[in-house]
Amino acid sequence: MAESAVAGKSSIDWPHYGALGFFLLVVVFIATLLVIVVQWMTDANRLPLANLVVQGDLTYLATDDVREAILQSGELGSFMTQDVGEIQTAIESLPWVASASVRKQWPDVLKVYLVEHEPMARWHDDALLNTYGEVFVARATSLESLVRLAGPEGSSQEVMAQWKAMQQQLAPLDVALEGVTLSSRRAWRVWLDNGIRLELGRRSLEERLARFITLYPELNGSNKTVEYVDLRYDTGAAVGWQKTE
């Protein structure tokens, strides 16, 4: 019995390869198009951040101050590449800036919203306190009349709170506090706008101020000028008079 072998013939599915080739062509085209679009959008010359809008109630800052801070932070990127966080950090380094919010607006606008520190007092000789008792360093000749506060590092909020409480307690006397100091030994000293210095010590501040309020009419009616009143006693007070020439 003879065996016969049948040789099979293979055929190429040309339509299948044609579809695959077309698909690859489309993928390459889309990838190329994406690269071109990304390069175009990230080109600073194509979408430069050309306009600056500064918002907020500003008293001590000007738009030029903000613009200068941005320029000093480095070369600006395009709308797509610029990191607004870097700009925010640069702006918040300005002395009067309490906080800043930065965002981009299509196609070329940089919007900055600012909140300034509101100065409430001077802190030592080279700084200021805002309404929260936070220390910041800034200059303004119009602030020389602010109360002068001082104390150990980290005590600014405590000193400010005590100043407000003392001012309220002394309100019936129609005098203002020009200075309040907390020493490293936790002793309080107060200067009034009529030139009197109060030595209050480390405890019983409210009681000692109440004692001064009781003594004040007699002191105020004297024909002598009071230099200081030392209230660091359980009762009474020691009064120092200014020397007359």
**Token match 């009034």: residue?**
192
- Predicted confidence band of residue 2 (pLDDT cuts 50, 70, 90): very low
Mean pLDDT of the chain: 85
3-class secondary structure, 205 = helix
Judgement on whether residues 174 and 62 belong to the same structural domain of the protein: no
**Do 123 and 112 share a structural domain?**
no
Number of domains in the chain: 2
Asked whether residue 141 is assigned to any structural domain, the reply reads yes
Same domain, 128 and 111: no
Furthest-apart CA atoms within the chain: distance in Å: 151
Please give the Cα distance from 188 to 198 (Å, whole number). 9
Per the model's pLDDT, the better-predicted residue between 85 and 34 turns out to be 85
| Mean pLDDT, residues 25-32 taken together | 73
Q: Are both 163 and 206 inside the same structural domain?
A: yes
Long-range CB contact pairs, 77-81, < 8 A, 24+: 77/42, 77/44, 77/49, 78/41, 78/42, 78/43, 78/44, 78/46, 78/47, 78/48, 78/49, 79/41, 79/47, 79/48, 79/49, 79/104, 79/106, 79/107, 79/108, 80/41, 80/42, 80/47, 81/42, 81/44
Torsion sign, CA atoms 121, 125, 127, 133? negative
Does the pLDDT value for residue 90 go beyond 60?
A: yes
Half-sphere exposure of 140 (CA within 13 A, CB side): 20
What is the rounded distance in angstroms from the CA atom of residue 174 to the CA atom of residue 179?
Answer: 16
* Token couple for 152: 């150990």
Whether 17 shows a pLDDT value over 70: the answer reads no
Domain of 73 in residue numbering reads as 51-116
In a domain, 180, yes or no: yes
Provide CB contacts within 8 A for 215, sequence distance 6+.
229, 237
Give CA angle at 157 (156, 160), nearest 5°: 85
Residue appearing with tokens 């030029």: 64
Backbone angles phi, psi at 7, to 5 degrees: -80, 120
pTM of the model: 0.75
Instruction: Looking at the structure, tell me whether residues 112 and 124 fall in a common domain.
Output: no
Of 116, 142, 159, which one is at a domain's C-terminal end? 116
Looking at the structure, tell me whether residues 123 and 232 fall in a common domain.
Answer: yes
CB atoms within 10 A of CB 61: 20
Whether residue 104 lies inside any domain: the answer is yes
Write the CATH number for 110.
Answer: 3.10.20.310
Confidence of residue 3 (pLDDT cuts 50, 70, 90): very low
Q: Strand pairing of 51-55 and 188-192?
A: unpaired
Shared domain check, 153 and 112 = no
Q: What digits encode the pLDDT tens for the residues 189-216?
A: 999 999 999 999 999 999 999 999 999 9
Note whether 79 and 148 are same-domain residues: no
Contact 49, 82 (CB under 8 A): yes
Q: Are residues 95 and 123 in the same domain?
A: no
Q: Which residue among 116, 132, 158 closes a domain?
A: 116
Among 116, 138, 165, the domain-final residue is 116
Residue 211's CATH number = 3.40.50.11690
Same domain, 108 and 205: no
Residues 168, 69 share a domain:
no
52, 57, 69, 175 from 135: Cα distances, Å: 29, 21, 21, 26
State whether 171 and 83 are in the same domain. Answer: no
Measure Cα distances from 48 to 70, 109, 180 in Å: 14, 9, 52
Question: 121-169 pLDDT, tens per residue?
Answer: 999 989 999 999 999 999 887 888 899 999 999 999 999 999 999 999 9
